Structure 1
Amino acid sequence: MQIVRIGLDLAKYVFEVHGVDCHGKVVVRKTLRRDAVAPFFANLPRCLVGMEASNGAHYWARVLSDLGHEVRLISPQFVTPYVKSNKNDRNDAEAICEAVGRPTMRFVPPKLADQLAIQAVHRIRSRLVADRVKLVNQVRGLLAEHGVVIARDIPRLRRALAEITGGSDDGLNELVRVLIREVQTELAELDQRIASYDRRVRELFRNSELCQRLGKIEGIGPVTATALIAAVGDRTCFKNGRQFAAWLGLVPKQRSSGGRARLFGISKRGDRYLRTLMIHGARAALGKAAGKQDPRSLWLSKLRQRRHPNVAAVALANKNARIVWAMLSGGTVYEHAPSVKAA
């Protein structure tokens, strides 16, 4: 019988294959070494291949797609309900094969090599920013033990470190002063590296016409625009803007039963980094909306009066996500609404 659907459980060196025919009967169960995966699929007729969206999934999606197969990536949380009995690689491959055949299953957009490269820039930059935050918090805590309290502001910390290393009369132990000097050097190095990645992001933004179109939306700058392009591959995976916003975790969590709708805070599903950028950008746009008379700013002002600023920021991030989907799917340009003239 011909194989029509395969579940492929990914790993670093050992891969499990579970294939079924058009009637759902198991026709192949196989364990493959890494170097044998591509030759195995090259000798198969075109079929549907399902994989979990885990480490290396986008690479194998490109490899198998080039061999003529239809590849679909599934979030691991949607595969778990189909695992029978104990969890192991063989059962995982069977669960993936079952899940990928469901007509209502949701799939992860595959990414191209260029998208993964942009995503790598963002991930390294994000890690450097996190390292700087850890370093700042550590030095603030160490100085607080010696009676030197510095506000949570990096520029103020830099000035305070310059005064300490300059020999200010603050009563610090000489060893502590030497350590602070080393921390100051480390902080300067992190600042330089982050600045270099910021320049790369701006260059990517300038070289992408699509990123520049997204950058015209209030609340979306070069960092968010390039992160969106890196994260969103096949826009057809989302039926509408609400699905895209839900993929970003910007819609309410729902637990409804018996005809009673119960809505909670946002679901926070999907890419945390991208959702954080969208919300931070919305906060910046929210602060600049005061006093403006265009319909968008008036809507934000009324929303700000009724709800907490954080709720308003998330609502704007949700709206921006829907606008982004409309622009990506339709190839349109964002147009600012004209200001409303007072009567």
Structure 2
Amino acid sequence: MSPLYVRPYVKVHKNDDRDAEAIAEATTRPTMPFIPIKSEEQLDLQALHRARERQVSDRTRLINQGRAFLMERGIRVGTGRHIFQKELTKLTAKGVADLSQRIVLMQSDMASELEEINCRVATIDAEIKAPAKTDADMQRLSVICFKFGCEFYVM
């Protein structure tokens, strides 16, 4: 049952006992809608999406930190993950006179960590795409998203 439907039945000061009482009261109502329990496959897919979101967040954090380190030393890098990765590859390959050896090593370490995160995201994407090829609902959603240009990465 959705917490939004239980909220009107909670009396003044919220605590666990009053929450339980409100849930019991709400369940007795004949028109109360209930949320279906998710299947094992739905829970697995939800976990995959959350893991992917965490990896993408880590990747973004790493790129922003690397860009900040370079900007502090007067090296501007354009926005976008691919642009940063290309620039990072150039910097670690040839080195820059303005950068200390410590920063070059740190940027090199960031490049390898970034590559590792990209591999993890690609692996999770492949796991998400596999059931999407057989699920009719996911195929329809991907067509709709492609048509309207929204972000839906299961194609």
TM-score, normalised relative to structure 2: 0.85
Candidates 133, 138, 142, aligned match of 1:206: 133
1:82: how far off? 1.6
- Aligned residues: CA RMSD: 2.1
Which residue number corresponds to residue 143 of structure 1? 70
Give the partner amino acid of 1:173: S
* 2:8 pairs with 1:85: no
Is this contact kept in 1: 2:6–2:23, CA < 8 A?
yes
Higher relative contact order (CA 8 A, sep 6+): 2
1:171: how far off? 0.7
Name the CA distance, whole Å, in 2 between partners of 1:282 and 1:203.
23
Please tell me whether Structure 1 or Structure 2 has the larger radius of gyration of its CA atoms. 1
Name the CA distance, whole Å, in 2 between partners of 1:138 and 1:121.
26
Candidates 88, 93, 110, aligned match of 1:161: 88
User: Gaps (5+ residues) in structure 1?
Assistant: 1-72, 221-280, 286-343
Deviations 1:178-220 (A, max 9, x none): 11111111100000000001111111112324433443x3315
Name the CA distance, whole Å, in 2 between partners of 1:169 and 1:84.
66
* 2:40 pairs with 1:113: yes
Which residue number corresponds to residue 127 of structure 1? 54
Is this contact kept in 2: 1:218–1:282, CA < 8 A?
yes
Name the CA distance, whole Å, in 2 between partners of 1:218 and 1:149.
38
Larger helix proportion, structure 1 or 2? 2
Percent identity reads 35
Aligned residue for 2:94, secondary structure, equals coil
Name the CA distance, whole Å, in 2 between partners of 1:111 and 1:121.
15
How many residues in Structure 1 have an aligned counterpart in Structure 2?
151
Give the partner amino acid of 2:79: R
CA gap of 1:210–1:133, structure 2 versus 1, over 3 A, is same
User: Gaps (5+ residues) in structure 2?
Assistant: none
Is this contact kept in 2: 1:164–1:170, CA < 8 A?
no
Which residue number corresponds to residue 94 of structure 1? 21
Name the CA distance, whole Å, in 1 between partners of 2:20 and 2:79.
49
Give the partner amino acid of 1:218: I
Aligned residue for 1:148, secondary structure, equals coil
- Aligned structure 1 segments of 4 or more residues deviating by more than 6 angstroms: none
TM-score, normalised relative to structure 1: 0.41
CA gap of 1:150–1:198, structure 2 versus 1, over 3 A, is same
CA gap of 1:98–1:186, structure 2 versus 1, over 3 A, is same
Name the CA distance, whole Å, in 1 between partners of 2:87 and 2:18.
58
Aligned residue for 2:12, secondary structure, equals coil
Is this contact kept in 1: 2:95–2:104, CA < 8 A?
no
Give the partner amino acid of 1:158: Q
Larger strand proportion, structure 1 or 2? 1
Which residue number corresponds to residue 328 of structure 1? none
